[in-house]
Amino acid sequence: MQRYESYKPSGIPWVGDIPSHWGVKKNKFLLSERKAVVGKDAPNFKLLSLTLQGVILRDMENPKGKFPAEFDTYKQVSPDDLIFCLFDVEETPRTVGLAKHHGMITGAYTVTRCNEQVSSAFLYYYYLSLDEGKQLRSLYTGLRNVITRDTFFSLATPFPPREEQDRIVAFLDQKTADIDAAIAKKERLIELLQEQKNIRIHQAVLRGLNPEVPLCDSGVSWIGEIPAHWKAIPNRYIFREQNARSLRGEETHLSMSQRYGLVPAKELDVQTLQSESYDGAKLCQKGDLVQNRLKAHLAVFAVAPCDGLVSPDYSVFRLQNSENQPVYFERLFKTPNYLGEFNRRVRGIVVGFLRLYSEDFNANPALVPPCNEQAEIVKFIEATNTDFENIRAKIDAEIVMLRELKAITVASAVTGKIKI
């Protein structure tokens, strides 16, 4: 991209040099704060929220997340207002947003309106670029990483003439939309590959690897036909539930994750709230099938990768025949056929606390191929997963590069490093 003819120091550490004809002013000369609250008129305002997707409308009919008992202290918002979150700046995924709707937003946020010198969209892109790299760390104060109101309004902001701002905004609108579309296509490709992978695995655990094998009726309506040499046997004859408890809680603590399965808690990227003591936790052995009873119908169960301990509210099942393959049964129970049946069998009075009890799990029939065929299916599953993860890694890397390109493009345009 072309650069401007001449540059000058901006005096702003995170910006560096700017085009010679650009100006620099403190925010208090560019922005005015809007402090009006909705008060008792709150029912007449739409609820807004600052997210990674921007300032969005919240669905009050189907609320997700926490809501206050009253909205009286929420601030009024109009289209083109700039919304800033100036607390927990380091931890908050997005701290700036450009409003597109009339509505109200939490009074903890700083709502501002640009004067005629600057475009709200231009300033949005400028502060978005700073937020992407959390470049205002030097301004944080206190344990909650706050940028004080006085500090924020004393910040110097660079800007070109208004006509040039509009050109930069139009350029960035198009460029970011193109990049976002490319990212969306790649994310959709991952979803399609995931669906294809699951279909292949589900076919393998329900029908085997030989498409020519003779079939017979399984005798179970929700399973249908199965290879004639397979058996449908109630789980009580395949597994034995384990209830051994840890005396001191010193064994490896295993944590359940829908994405990663059952893994040592210390290996999870996201730290979860954990008990200070694991006394009384259930013991499991490598190869045991561990089930979160509250989420079994959501496929939250996995094979233990090593000996360890799990929540006392989990169920631990051990194969009675050591030649059977636990990974085969894990994947079998994650097919839509089995999840639908588990969902039918869960019990409870409150959604979110529905349990799949052991007697209901034990009553379910499992499909049991010969042990050598189970081993072949497991090898197929592992190879299929490896192929998918290799392809996904390449696509993920491409998505990272696109996001970096987007961030660089925005930062370069709003600081005058490229001429628009």
- Check pLDDT > 80 for residue 271: no
Q: Answer whether CATH 1.10.3470 is correct for domain 161-208+369-420.
A: no
- Within 8 A by CB and 6+ apart from 308, the residues are 251, 252, 253, 254, 264, 283, 284
293 in Cβ contact with 313 (< 8 Å) = yes
Q: What confidence category does residue 351 fall into, taking pLDDT thresholds of 50, 70 and 90?
A: low
Q: Parse the chain into domains and list their residue ranges.
A: 23-159, 161-208+369-420, 216-368
The CB density around residue 354, as the number of other CB atoms within 10 Å, is: 19
Percentage above 90 pLDDT, the chain: 82
Q: What confidence category does residue 269 fall into, taking pLDDT thresholds of 50, 70 and 90?
A: low
What is the mean pLDDT of the segment spanning 307-331?
Answer: 95
CATH says 23-159 is which class?
Answer: alpha beta
Residue type at 83 in one-letter notation: I
CATH number for the domain formed by residue range(s) 216-368: 3.90.220.20
The CB density around residue 16, as the number of other CB atoms within 10 Å, is: 14
Query: What is the spatial distance between Cα 113 and Cα 78, in angstroms, rounded to a whole number?
Result: 9
What is the mean pLDDT of the segment spanning 76-85?
Answer: 97
35 in Cβ contact with 149 (< 8 Å) = no
85-133 residue pLDDT tens: 999 999 999 999 999 999 999 999 999 999 999 999 999 999 999 999 8
Query: What is the spatial distance between Cα 295 and Cα 330, in angstroms, rounded to a whole number?
Result: 14
Query: What is the spatial distance between Cα 181 and Cα 174, in angstroms, rounded to a whole number?
Result: 11
Q: What confidence category does residue 306 fall into, taking pLDDT thresholds of 50, 70 and 90?
A: very high
Helix (H, G, I), strand (E, B) or coil at 35: coil
The yes-or-no answer to whether 161-208+369-420 and 216-368 have a common fold is no
Query: What is the spatial distance between Cα 38 and Cα 76, in angstroms, rounded to a whole number?
Result: 6
26 in Cβ contact with 156 (< 8 Å) = yes
- Check pLDDT > 80 for residue 56: yes
pLDDT at residue 141, rounded to an integer: 95
- Check pLDDT > 50 for residue 272: no
Q: What confidence category does residue 63 fall into, taking pLDDT thresholds of 50, 70 and 90?
A: low
H-helix or E-strand containing 77?
strand 75-77
136-178 residue pLDDT tens: 999 999 999 999 999 999 999 999 999 999 999 999 999 999 9
Helix (H, G, I), strand (E, B) or coil at 227: strand
pLDDT at residue 196, rounded to an integer: 97
What is the mean pLDDT of the segment spanning 217-244?
Answer: 96
Compute, in degrees rounded to 10, the torsion defined by CA atoms 287, 289, 292, 298. 110
Q: What confidence category does residue 242 fall into, taking pLDDT thresholds of 50, 70 and 90?
A: very high
